Amino acid sequence: MSEVMLTVQIVNWNAREPLRAALRSIMAHPPLYEYEIIVLDNASSDGSVQMLEKEFPEVKLIVSERNLGFSKGHNLAARAAQGKYLFILNPDTEVLPGALEALVAYAERHPEVAIIGPKILNPDGSLQYSCRRFPNPAAALFRNTPLGKLFPNNPYTREYLMTDWDHNSIREVDWVSGAALFIRREVYKQLGGFDEQFFMYCEDTDLCYRARQAGYKVIYYPEPKIKHAIGRSTDLVANRMIITFHRSMYLFYKKHYARRTLVLLRPLVPLGLALRASLFLLKNYKDALMRPLRR
């Protein structure tokens, strides 16, 4: 039996229709080498498991009786993987023709590269900023906040999102999105996979941070292309995800930045994140109150 070159692994939670489309996009243009697909289902209640069993019997299915989250789910899937490379993929994605071959070919030519992020597009074909600098307090202050709306062209957001670059060339970057993250399985194992403290969000940033600390390169490679419809599952529980996101941001700060922060300034970080989360929650609450009036 030939070597399994690639494992495509997807963690799914109540995203039956997007998942079906993602799997069809892979199977419509399968790579020429040996590959496998693993789907871990996080206790979905929308019929995802039944759909997979009926329509995609070739997919390796792991069913969890509870929602393990993104990190733990992918770590469990990775333990069952046989591929030389892992392609971490969201269920709300579409793999465009040739993307899988391009990722593997680049990794084979560049053994010094541990993690590769493809170009990610929005459903309408516009660019999705999927490779970034590591987060910093200034970027958090301006990113998706009222202050950011007042100063939309501020340098902190531009630097964080790398918007002053057209994203059409290969570049070494700080981190790439976990919506479509390609990694050598041996490196994934060496790093211990995703840190399971992160239920969801920032686990990709943390993995890339640790990979770079270990001396590996993280590369943005625009030839392979993936379409991604952000938030198909998380939109179902928007307020919970706001809290989860800001908790993950604090965990990342505490793990990697706290020791380098002046002691007197350390309490300001959780306070600022709590305030930021509260603003988002308040906006959602106001929108919910106004929705019946708009009808």
Structure confidence by residue, pLDDT tens digits, 154-213: 887 888 889 999 999 999 999 999 999 999 999 999 999 999 999 999 999 999 999 999
Structure confidence by residue, pLDDT tens digits, 259-282: 887 777 778 778 878 887 787 788
- Apex 205 CA angle, 70 and 33, nearest 5: 65
Query: Mean pLDDT in the chain?
Result: 90
Place of tokens 């686990």: 203
pTM of the full structure: 0.91
Is 230 in contact with 144 (CB distance < 8 Å)?
no
Q: What is the DSSP string of 85-124?
A: EEEEE-TTEEEPTTHHHHHHHHHHH-TTEEEEEEEEE-TT
Closest CA to 273 of 180, 183, 154, 139: 139
List the structure tokens of 130: 């999927």
Place of tokens 């670059």: 165
Is 236 in contact with 285 (CB distance < 8 Å)?
no
